[in-house]
Structure 1
Amino acid sequence: MKTAAVILFILSAILLLGTFKYLVELKRPGVYPPKQVLKKRAAGLAGFACICLLIALSLSYFL
């Protein structure tokens, strides 16, 4: 179970880095795809990263 928790921690870190990448791209002018698409992608990645982080924390704390 420790390896599953470590993998989920790594996955959540990668997803958070992707979220920050999209947030930085939002600040640039004239970027493609449109800003609404970037906002949806960033929100989706952040949500999935939080879910992975919560599962990893519960695995490492309770088991």
Structure 2
Amino acid sequence: MKSAAVIFFILCAISFLGAGKYFMDLQRPGVYPPKQMLKKRAGTLAAGGGVCLLIGFLFSFFQ
């Protein structure tokens, strides 16, 4: 179970880094793809990272 928690924490970090990249891309003018799509992608990655973080905490707590 410890390795599963580590995997979920790694997935969480990757998702949050990806969401941060999309949020940084939103600050640039004239960026492609459109800003609405970047907002949607960033929100999806942030939500997925939050879920992975929660699952990782549950696995590490109930070990």
Q: TM-score, normalised by structure 1?
A: 0.98
Between the two proteins, the alignment pairs up a number of residues equal to 63
Percent identity of the aligned residues? Answer: 60
State the SS of the aligned residue for 1:4.
helix
Structure 1 outlier segments of 4+, above 4 Å = none
Amino acid at match of 1:21: K
Q: TM-score, normalised by structure 2?
A: 0.98
Residue of structure 2 equivalent to 1:61:
61
Unaligned runs of 5+ in 1: none
Unaligned runs of 5+ in 2: none
Residue of structure 2 equivalent to 1:20:
20
